Homo-oligomer: A and B are copies of this chain.
Amino acid sequence: MATWRQLSNRYSRTRWANELSYGDAAGYLPLRRSIADYLRFSQRIACEPAQVIIFASTQQALDLCARLLLDPGDGVLMEDPGYPGAARIFAAAGAKVVSVPVDSQGLCTEPPLPVQPDMRLAYVTAAHQTPLGGSLPLERRLALLSWAEACGATVIEDDYDGEFRFHGQPMPALKSLDAGQRVIYMGSFSKMLFPSLRLAYMVVPGWLAEPCRAAISLTMRHAPLHQQAVLSEFIAGGHMARHVHRMRLLYGERAQHFQQECETRFDGLLSPIPVSTGLDATVLLPAHASDAQVAAALHRGGIETRPLSFYSVQHKAPPGLVMGFSAFDETAMRQGMDGIEKVLEGLALKP
């Protein structure tokens, strides 16, 4: 935060006076360069700054994709359970959402994905599946790309927190395998830095760059320059890589601590799915439990979770809860776990 503050103050003193007017609708060019350089190194994605488009949020990027790529009735392939914020955007565009089941490795590509001529889009969280947590294996990634090629569809790879991978070799991004120019890679700074910043980006295939710029120019103009400029220097100065490295260690410790607490405390009532990536963990409840009821009881006890049923459309997820662990140090974690224990005791969840 001190570094960010310094960069922000320096921008105000030096370049701000020359950057008061309108900017490029696709985003501040130095930021787009910084992101392209960063992704080359961190995700092995080879892209030009012209392919990097800046948004206020992933949500806005998804909305623009839906408006540019979908007509009412077009098919969109979605993970189920999956991210409801994306499903709602596609539904609002009048698209037909085709649900594909998910297992512990992410989107299931067996039985084969439905090749239909009206399929226009797929949305996947390949690095860290929302909400079950899997990382899509290489053969499934290739199957998804073949499906896109066969349908003439585009794939959105929403990498909302893939930077925070705690162990194992990270899989190359789907975008890095995108020989056919069919993948849109999305990233956000809400989880890498902080949500009130409101900056996110897409890396688009070359053919989509100009349509994106035109649509943003019409529907928003562009994101604020000051924040874009500070972020650009934060990345270019190496602060982002250092921050992510530090946070990866910290969040990794917290993930482990979360898992230990779950295992030692709840007598099998909460079974955490091992956390390899990100800021949230998924814990499974006994098979007969209603996760919506448990989440409501926890909410009344001051504890915010999301039931897995919230993420399901057609394919029922097992009862479970998504819980954030990354914001809590040891003391706060212990207090939270005490609170959860108290609520669960009152629920008589044991069979």
Contact = CB atoms under 8 A, between A and B. Distances in A.
Interface of A: 1, 5, 8-9, 12-13, 16-17, 19-23, 56-57, 59-60, 63, 85, 88-89, 92, 190, 194-199, 218-227
A327 B5 CA distance: 31
A20 B194 contact: yes
Contacts of A12: 5, 8-9
A167 B192 CA distance: 51
How many copies of this protein are present in the complex?
A: 2
A56 B16 CA distance: 18
Given A5-B12, A13-B5, A63-B219, A195 B20 contact: yes
B1 A56 contact: no
Given A17-B1, A218-B63, A218-B92, A223 B198 contact: yes
A195 B89 contact: no
Nearest to A196: B225
A206 B60 CA distance: 25
B196 A59 contact: no
Given A56-B220, A220-B59, A21 B194 contact: yes
Contacts of A57: 220-221
A55 B219 CA distance: 11
Nearest to A219: B63
B195 A22 contact: yes
10 contacts: A1-B17, A5-B12, A19-B196, A23-B196, A56-B220, A59-B218, A59-B220, A195-B221, A197-B224, A199-B224
